[in-house]
Amino acid sequence: MNELPPRHVDRIAEPWGTRTPYGPGTPWPARVDSYLADGLDEQDVDRWVQSASVLHSNGDALDIAVKDDVIVGVRGRANDRVNRGRLGPKDLYGWQANNSGDRLTAPMIRVNGELVETDWDTAMNRIVARSRELLADSGPDALGFYTSGQLFLEEYYTLGVIAHGAIGTNNVDGNTRLCTATAAQALKESFASDGQPGSYSDVDHADVIALYGHNVAETQTVLWSRILDRLAGENPPQLLCIDPRPTHVARQAAVHLAPMPGTNVALMNGILHEIISNGWVAQDYIDRHSVGFDDLVSHTRAYSPERVAEICGVDADDIRRAAYLVGTAEKLLSTVLQGFYQSHQATAAAVQVNNIHILRGMLGRPGCGVLQMNGQPSAQNTRECGADGDLAGFRNWANDAHIAELAGLWNIDVEKMPQGSPPTHAMKIFDSAEQGSIRMLWVSATNPAVSMPELSRIRNILAQERLFLVVQDIFLTETASMADVILPAAAWGEKTGTFTNADRTVHISDKAVEPPGEARPDLDIFLDYARRMNFEDRDGQALPPWHDAESAFEGWKRASAGRPCDYTGMSYDSLRTRGGIQWPCSTDNPDGTERLYSDGSFWSDPDYCESYGKDLVTGDPVEPSEYRALNPDSRAVVKAVHYFPPNETLSEAFPLALITGRTLYHFHTRTKTGRAPQLQRAAPTVWVEISEMDAANLGVEEGDVVEVSSPRSSIHAQARISGIREGVLFVPFHYGYWDASSAETHERAANELTRTEWDPASKQPQFKYAAAQARRLRAGGGPSKAPTTTASAPSASTVVPTVGGLETVERTGSSTTS
């Protein structure tokens, strides 16, 4: 790269860095971001090791800097299609958690109620003994596995083979249930298969970008930088934002709708009503490529802008403006995330976004795409590999031939596969543990004691004497502290594997340094369990047969062959030399596939498809024969649904709608970002966002300590008076109780307040709606410590801005090929 002089930038104060404007149809310029600890220079670095970021789903490619066998920093990869060198604040600073002095370094077991360190043999033999006992006494369904969206593909596929193939239990799911179950389900409903139709490069072409319940500015900062660079360039796109908070997306939007939480379906039906009645539809595309349109026409007829305005608490003319934007766009890109996915009609709402694209024929062309977003770095792989209960390779549980194919591939009798029942979703797994039918629960790379809804219930379930709890983590989390056995895992940077981002781009992440103490890669732990359990195939060969990451990847390639998520054209070598590659990628197209469905045909043939879909209201599966009759010719399916209100109604006692979510500087339960000083300082403790009007009514001032209550529990948080919609409270869910230095400890986790309720189709819990009340307790001794740089920006101008220091280096080229 022909470089301009490097700039030092405060990426806490300026999370998106410096603009590199560009116009439609031109390449996004490169900008290489780097941060090295302790004032080190690049020439001090011993080696750079290829990887990508793991603190969101964007898949930003980076190199890990190593000095004296310790990770000392990161630098973006200029030639990767995803980020062109850019990194976000969590990418830049989050790696420091790897070096934290409180990593788990030895297995632990519970002895007389206390956790004590032990060796691997003792810990694993306990797990094996309990597994054998339960299998003999109660059968496979006594075992449950609750995994993550943060491991590597190879690890999930191994776990999937163990659970589905070797043990034969259907009690396997990921925290992806809390996260992207609705993304997967919405794609299965509309296209009969998982797989993002669109691509990040659609940002380079779109004239309208619509974001539905997606705070991309904070949750995929590099993708937002790409959008900001388009906004700063020639012929910028117009944005539509649907979010009850004044996010940075909302502030840049041509149209911002701030609906009452829980009303997305009404709003979408209103927008579709306008699109249809104005004739902004591609009738020819609809006729040739879809089924179900007439049903949508009749369903949406009753949703006039006036009626919808009343339900959602927005302006009818704003609904018309929103519909005009997406209805007349020439190249429409839409993204959807948790503001839609974590609600009571989640799949129903997300499917309406797909419907807009089908109606307008906006699929498979540059600038025309849907991204039913993922959140976690490897959530896509949890789904592909079957570690969320799906059948590996997007095979169909309702299609016996697909199950038989997989049994053949694994060389096991088909009777060994779980029979007759749908996969047990995570909420049901916890339910079964509560009822006592699941007696061993193996939790890997997730922290349910903070991230699941209604925490008092979750704690009670995990603490049961009769439940044997195994926790595999890199830190002693809230969940780990309740375990019977703790297995110390190697973290990102300490193990090799691959993972796939939200636009189907696969990256390799190579091992840069050794894990601390006796910590071991998750893959090795799962394989060790399989060997100790003597899992075998029909010919007495070890199951799974592979022994390391690359051989697991090769095994996965065979399972993916001919399926939508085809990896057969990739290898560890090609991922190292080319950087990110998008699936499907077979030997015929080694460069991968930028957009799906460009020829207007879908993976929805009844014999090929992943799913026959569900009833969006009841969640009942569509019968195979019904599906065959509905969609015999590989078309897209337009699904219509009526709005109904959430079942926890606001009342005099609980008059406010509570929503929960994220801030830019933290990742989930903060096990990593809470240990990165720059990030922790930027958002040190919990707050509650409240509108000026509600604050005035409640006599609350900026920084006052407020008790936030729901019918389940209450927490304490400092008030941040912001531009949030009236009648709505927002609490970030990042703050558990592990850092004893905090005065608030047990009274600050948002999930103390949330509900044990889920979307009927995707089974994703409703983190974005609960009835709540707020009450002033006392003055807080100053403003809330919520960031000023994000959606939590204060209404008052007197709050000191959030800053970091000039630690990050940005290099922007005048010529940008690297």
User: Mask 464-503, x = binds ligand MGD (CB under 6 A)?
Assistant: --------xxxx-x-----------x-xx-----------
Q: Does 358 bind Mo ion (CB under 5 A)?
A: no
If binding is defined by CB under 5 A, does position 375 make contact with Mo ion? yes
Q: How far is CA 36 from the centre of its chain?
A: 28
| Binding window for ligand MGD (CB under 6 A); candidates: 79-87, 208-216, 317-325, 627-635 | 208-216
Give all strands (DSSP E) within 148-282, no chain letters: 172-174, 208-212, 238-242, 255-257
179 lines the binding site for Mo ion (CB under 5 A) = yes
CA distances in angstroms from 681 to 419, 684, 698, 800, 805, listed in the order given = 51, 5, 29, 13, 11
**Residues 116 to 145 in contact with ligand MGD, rule: CB under 6 A:** none
- Angstrom distance (rounded) from CA 592 to CA 582: 5
Q: Which of 126, 226, 383, 662 binds ligand MGD (CB under 6 A)?
A: 662
CA distance 214 to 244: 11
Question: Position 405: which residue type?
Answer: E
Position 666 contacts ligand MGD (CB under 6 A): yes
Min separation Cβ 1 and Mo ion, Å:
34
By beta-carbon proximity to Mo ion, the closer residue of 179 and 470 is 179
Closest distance of CB 608 from Mo ion, Å? 29
Q: Are strands 808-815 and 2-3 parallel, antiparallel or unpaired?
A: antiparallel
How many chain residues are in contact with Mo ion, going by CB under 5 A?
2
Residue nearest to ligand MGD according to CB distances in the complex: 375
Helix (H) or strand (E) holding 687: strand 687-691
Beta strands in 7-46 (DSSP E): 7-9, 31-36
Closest approach of ligand MGD to the CB of residue 396, in Å: 26
For the beta carbon of residue 1, count every other beta carbon within 10 angstroms: 18
Is there binding between residue 156 and ligand MGD (CB under 6 A)? no
Asked whether position 455 contacts ligand MGD by CB under 6 A, the answer is no
Number of H helices, E strands in the chain: 25, 30
Instruction: Give yes or no for residue 751 binding ligand MGD (CB under 6 A).
Output: yes
Query: Which of positions 559-618 make contact with ligand MGD (CB under 6 A)?
Result: none
The count of other CB atoms within 10 Å of the CB of residue 258 is 22
Minimum distance from residue 143 beta carbon to ligand MGD (Å): 18
Which residues neighbour 286 within 8 Å (Cβ) at sequence distance 6 or greater? 293, 358, 359, 361, 638
Regarding 16 and contact with ligand MGD (CB under 6 A), the answer is no
Considering the complex, what minimum distance in angstroms separates the CB of residue 625 from ligand MGD? 35
Q: Taking the complex as a whole, how short is the minimal distance between the CB of residue 781 and ligand MGD, in angstroms?
A: 27
In 267-295, which positions are buried (b, 16+ CB within 10 angstroms) versus exposed (e)?
A: bbbbbbbbbbeeebbeeebbeebbbbbee
Does the footprint of ligand MGD cover residue 792 (CB under 6 A)? no
DSSP helix/strand/coil, 28: coil
Q: What does the block give as tokens for 355?
A: 């419907």
Max CA pair span of the chain? 73
> For Mo ion, which is the closer residue by CB, 45 or 179?
179
Q: Please choose which of Mo ion, ligand MGD, none residue 767 contacts, taking the beta carbon within 5 to 8 angstroms, the exact cut-off set by kind.
A: ligand MGD
Rounded Cα distance, 79 and 260, in Å: 42
Segment 81-110, which members bind ligand MGD (CB under 6 A)?
90
Q: Which residue shows structure tokens 């749908």?
A: 422
Taking the C-alpha atoms of residue 606 and residue 765, their distance in angstroms, rounded to an integer, is: 29
Q: Which does 491 bind (CB under 5 to 8 A by kind): ligand MGD, Mo ion, none?
A: ligand MGD
Site string for Mo ion, 318-357 (x = CB under 5 A): ----------------------------------------
Q: Is 243 in the site for ligand MGD (CB under 6 A)?
A: yes
| Beta carbon of residue 577, minimum distance to ligand MGD (angstroms, whole number) | 25
Size of the site for ligand MGD (CB under 6 A): 63
Among 671, 762, 766, 789, binds ligand MGD (CB under 6 A): 671
Output the smallest distance, CB 445 to Mo ion, in A.
Answer: 13
Question: What is the 3-state secondary structure of 324-367?
Answer: HHHHHCCCEEEEECHHHHCCCCHHHHHHHHHHHHHHCCCCCECC
Binding mask 307-346 for ligand MGD (x = CB under 6 A): ------------------------------xxx--xx---
Q: Hey, how many other C-beta atoms are within 10 angstroms of the C-beta on 797?
A: 5
In the complex, the residues that contact ligand MGD under the rule CB under 6 A are 56-57, 90, 148-151, 175, 178-179, 213-215, 218-219, 242-245, 247, 259, 261-262, 264, 337-339, 342-343, 375-376, 444-448, 451, 472-475, 477, 489, 491-492, 522, 659-662, 664, 666-669, 671, 733, 750-751, 754, 767-768, 791
